[in-house]
Amino acid sequence: MAQGIAGLEKVIGRLVDFQIAIPSWALGTGGTRFGRFPGGGEPRNLEEKISDIGLLHALNRSSGAISLHIPWDIPDDIDQIRSLASQQGLKFDAVNSNTFQDQPGQVHSYKFGSLQHVSKAVRQQAITHNIEVIRHGIELGSKSLVVWLADGSSFPGQLNFRNAWQHTYEGLQEIYAALPADWKLFIEYKAYEPNFYSTTVGDWGQSYLFSSKLGPKAYTLVDLGHHLPNQNIEQIVALLLMENKLGGFHFNDSKYGDDDLTVGSIKPYQLYLIFNELIEGMDARGMNHATDLGWMIDASHNIKDPLEDLLQSVEAIMIAYAQSLLTDRQALVAAQGDNDVAAAQEILQNSFRTDVRTLVAEARLRSGGALRPLDLYRAEKVRKKLIDQRGHKTLATGL
Ligand code: RM4
Ligand code: MN
Ligand code: MN
């Protein structure tokens, strides 16, 4: 790590620029199918969600964007919402559509899928919804749509795989056609859940097939929690980047399935290795780290204070990013060229084992954030104040 002071200044500058979007659905307490244990003071509406993210951003200066889920977060008064967000220095990142739940008053049910559905009327309803989400996004200043489909089947024989794929593709084509010129479509994949036998966009290959057939505005979105056990996610991101088909990221962590744990809480080395490939791949394409991919957290907080968890997640992301920026790439290339396996491993582990917390804190301080965001959050008794304002039994729209 022959960085020198000038090198470190560059790293700090990049840390200052790096922003991670907070999902509007992660600010309340999530549940499991067994129960939900709300912590109190949850945001009751979009305005309060924006104010919660404003709080996070004031503390760490790295959470300068919000990702909305429609219809959970339909803005009533666009101008007011836009100005609320800009007062807190927040941008609107990708908007997310929802065809995995039935909404009150909805004509057709998504019980057996949405874009894949055997009935054209159901498919049309899902397409129309996605186009409406784009419309909301345009009003807010978003530039991308995330489509995550729960579509699939739970039992063998339930679904004709090819028909499901074709229907989904036709639907995505219509959604793609409705995108403004400067927008991106992110196609997210997930191995299983809610369906347990097949998922129509179940892995990166399936997502890549859709995104490459759709055209240059379509990309794959990688959610860390959506892989089968032991999958090599760092290799997936390297190849997607190589093909210019990686569009966005959902950060979280998991021990078993998609259990949406705090980023970096279980597999921090994997997180570093993923960042290492992201930075290497982005640099190879001359991409801007801060703006050329959609960086978002996607998590559900069942037992922790969601704001504390999000502070921890952002910190873990910044640490992995900083470590990957410090990685001695020249030495790595040389070791790879010599087939020096031990040296290559040392180079990566050396970066991963470097304690970069003070570097991250320095970047945060320089941009006006707190030295230790979580400590300040606790010292200021933020959650207690939110409970005083909003009450104990509030319910956030979302998961
Ligand atoms: C899904 C997927 C989507 C998220 C929903 C709430 O598992 O990760 O990105 O929007 O959950
Ligand atoms: Mn996700
Ligand atoms: Mn998920």
The residue whose CB lies within 8 Å of the most ligand 1 atoms, and thus the one to mutate among 190, 295, 296, 399, is: 190
**Cα dihedral 389→395→396→399 (10° resolution):** 150
Would you state the structure tokens that stand for residue 215, as one six-digit string? 């055209």
Task: Assess whether the previous peptide bond of 71 is cis (omega < 30° from 0).
Answer: yes
pLDDT at 38: 87
CA 271 to chain centre: 14
Kindly tell me if the per-residue pLDDT of 197 is higher than 70. yes
The percent of residues in the chain predicted with pLDDT above 90, rounded, is 92
What are the tens digits of pLDDT across the range 287-297? Answer: 999 999 999 99
pLDDT band at residue 330 under the 50/70/90 scheme: very high
Average model confidence (pLDDT) across the chain: 96
What are the tens digits of pLDDT across the range 347-365? Answer: 999 999 999 999 999 999 9
Q: Average pLDDT, stretch 73-89? A: 97
Kindly tell me if the per-residue pLDDT of 317 is higher than 70. yes
262 CB within 6 A, ligand 1: no
pLDDT band at residue 33 under the 50/70/90 scheme: confident
The full length of the chain comes to: 399
pLDDT at 398: 72
Task: Assess whether the previous peptide bond of 229 is cis (omega < 30° from 0).
Answer: no
pLDDT at 258: 77
For residue 25, give the ligand 1 atom closest to its CA: 6
For residue 188, give the ligand 1 atom closest to its CA: 9
260 CB within 6 A, ligand 1: no
pLDDT band at residue 184 under the 50/70/90 scheme: very high
What is the Cβ-side half-sphere exposure of residue 150, based on CA atoms within 13 angstroms?
Answer: 17
Kindly tell me if the per-residue pLDDT of 259 is higher than 80. no
Quickly count: other Cβ atoms within 10 Å of residue 243's Cβ: 12
Would you state the structure tokens that stand for residue 23, as one six-digit string? 């999902």
298 CB within 6 A, ligand 1: yes
**pTM, whole model, 2 decimals?**
0.97
Quickly count: other Cβ atoms within 10 Å of residue 135's Cβ: 12
pLDDT at 58: 98
Ligand 2 centroid–CA 249 distance in Å is 8
Give the span between the Cα atoms of 332 and 319, in whole angstroms: 20
Kindly tell me if the per-residue pLDDT of 277 is higher than 90. yes
What are the tens digits of pLDDT across the range 104-132? Answer: 999 999 999 999 999 999 999 999 999 99
pLDDT at 231: 96
Kindly tell me if the per-residue pLDDT of 381 is higher than 90. yes
For residue 69, give the ligand 1 atom closest to its CA: 10
Kindly tell me if the per-residue pLDDT of 170 is higher than 70. yes
What are the tens digits of pLDDT across the range 219-254? Answer: 999 999 999 999 999 999 999 999 999 999 999 999
186 CB within 6 A, ligand 1: no
Give the span between the Cα atoms of 176 and 247, in whole angstroms: 15
Ligand 2 centroid–CA 283 distance in Å is 25
pLDDT band at residue 31 under the 50/70/90 scheme: confident
For residue 193, give the ligand 1 atom closest to its CA: 7
